Amino acid sequence: MKRLTVLALAMGLLLSAAAFSSNLQRTSISDLFIQQEDRNPWTHLRLNNDPNDFQFVVVSDRTGGHRESVFSRAVEQINLMQPEFVLSVGDLIEGYSKDAAKLTKEWKEFQGFVSKLDMPFFYCPGNHDVANEFQEQFWKEKFGRRYYHFVYRGVLFLIVNADDPPGKDGGVSAEQQAYFKKALDENRDARWTIVALHKPLWSQANVDKNGWLEMEKLLNGRPYTVFAGHVHRYHKFVRNGQNYYQLATTGGGSKLRGVRYGEFDQICWVTMKKDGPLLANVMLDGIYPEDMRKPLTEEPGVLATRKATQPTQGKLYFEGAPAANAQVSFWAVDAAQKKFTKTGDAFADADGSFVISTYKADDGAPVGEYAVTVVWRQPWLDRDGKPGPNLLPARYAKAETSDLRVKVQEGPNDFTLELKK
């Protein structure tokens, strides 16, 4: 009798569950199958999975005094992130050479790194990569085209050679402009255009001669985004209503003073959405595998000759008030040659205090005599990349005219700089 009671209770529960289940809605959205009730523990079921969206990574300068085990580690970290492809903005080898054996060795090393990527890597030449006609020919023999384009999911990518012809200032040749005009004409229906080049040509003094204004004319009337490197400092510009990004470094020479200075190692994670690219600037120091151990790599850095530095700090005042956010620069004085060479610099904090950095963050300055310049720009760079107005007297902006002089000696150095109208 007891057993029959238990069976009857079990059957009752099953029937109740069946009745309850019949009131649920089984929803299918894309690949999601879920039971919905009147009240549900989620916000909505509009999944963020538009089939036209995709992700790619932009890496910045690896060289210009590259540091050990940074770019090679970034390769391992990018594999953790699994973008669909990787886009470069140049300066991949130290270069600046006409020695075929040296260039062969440097390219072999670099190609060894990117061969470990799970996804395609798109090359872009930088001034270190095509510094002269010899290197330019070396590139042609190894990679062929120095500029090119491709289309992915309705997005047009233009890979521009910003050192055409090779030289100090760089530029975009008429031949290259004609190539991209044709590519743009043939892809008028592209939903967006991504431009990658090494030098931010729009912020150079010779912008009226380097071919960039002609490129902007070709791009006029379509939505586009530009990525560049070269300066080793992050900065966002807005030109013609479009976003231009000057990325920091992915291993290139940097004092690594952080976001305030735009000095950090990064990858730029780009999600291509319907209404344009969505950017996430990801610091390499924030990418860890599941075991929370940084990948160990054997990439040697450049061993530069550096003078010993001494702790160097101070306070900066203008008419008795702290000159917050003004830039202090130390220029080594060569009296015999009547020459000044910029070494260290710093931004002043809210109380006027500053700490000089020469080779790395807050390392001070080598022993010696220095002319000191101070500029206080608001903004530091305008939307077009031109320096903003200087709020301090012009004489302090140049080493030749500034009357500020300091002498760095062994041991701690502390200076007070008083600026007057």
In the block, which residue shows the tokens 């560049």?
228
- Which among 276, 117, 83 is positioned nearest to 194, based on CA atoms? 276
pLDDT tops 90 at residue 304: no
pLDDT at 31: 84
CB 250 within 8 A of CB 232: no
Sequence letter at residue 149:
H
Number of other CB atoms surrounding residue 188 within 10 Å: 9
Dump pLDDT digits (tens) for 55-92: 999 999 999 999 999 999 999 999 999 999 999 999 99
Number of other CB atoms surrounding residue 264 within 10 Å: 20
What CATH architecture applies to the domain 309-419? Answer: Sandwich (2.60)
Dump pLDDT digits (tens) for 153-164: 999 999 999 999
Give dist(CA 97, CA 86) in Å, integer. 27
Mean per-residue pLDDT, 8-34: 53
Dump pLDDT digits (tens) for 87-141: 999 999 999 999 999 999 999 999 999 999 999 999 999 999 999 999 999 999 9
SS3 for the chain is CHHHHHHHHHHHHHHHHHHHHCCCEEEEECCEEEEECCCCCCCCCCCCCCCCCEEEEEECECCCCCCCCCHHHHHHHHHHHCCCCEEECCCCCCCCCCCHHHHHHHHHHHHHHHCCCCCCEECCCCCCCCCCHHHHHHHHHHHCCCCEEEEECCEEEEECCCECCCCCCCECCHHHHHHHHHHHHHCCCCCEEEEECCCCHHHCCCCCCCCHHHHHHHHCCCCEEEEECCCCCCEEEEECCEEEEECCECCCCCCCCEHHHCECEEEEEEEEECCEEEEEEEEHHHCCCCCCCCCCCCCCCCCCCCCCEECEEEEEEECCEECCCCEEEEEEEECCCCEEEEEEEEECCCCCEEECECCCCCCCEECEEEEEEEECECCCECCCCCECCECCCHHHHCCCCCCCEEEECCCCEEEEEEECC
How is the chain split into domains, by residue range?
Answer: 54-286, 309-419
Number of other CB atoms surrounding residue 306 within 10 Å: 11
Dump pLDDT digits (tens) for 184-200: 999 999 999 999 999 99
Dump pLDDT digits (tens) for 375-403: 999 988 887 778 899 999 999 999 999 99
* Residue 206 binned pLDDT confidence (cut-offs 50, 70, 90): very high
Task: Give percent above pLDDT 90 in the chain.
Answer: 86
pLDDT at 28: 61
Quote the pTM value: 0.91
- Which among 184, 185, 126 is positioned nearest to 160, based on CA atoms? 126
Q: Kindly state the tokens that stand for 201.
A: 């040509």
With the C-alpha atoms ordered 15, 16, 21, 22, is the resulting torsion angle positive or negative?
positive
54-286 has which CATH code?
A: 3.60.21.10
CB 401 within 8 A of CB 299: no
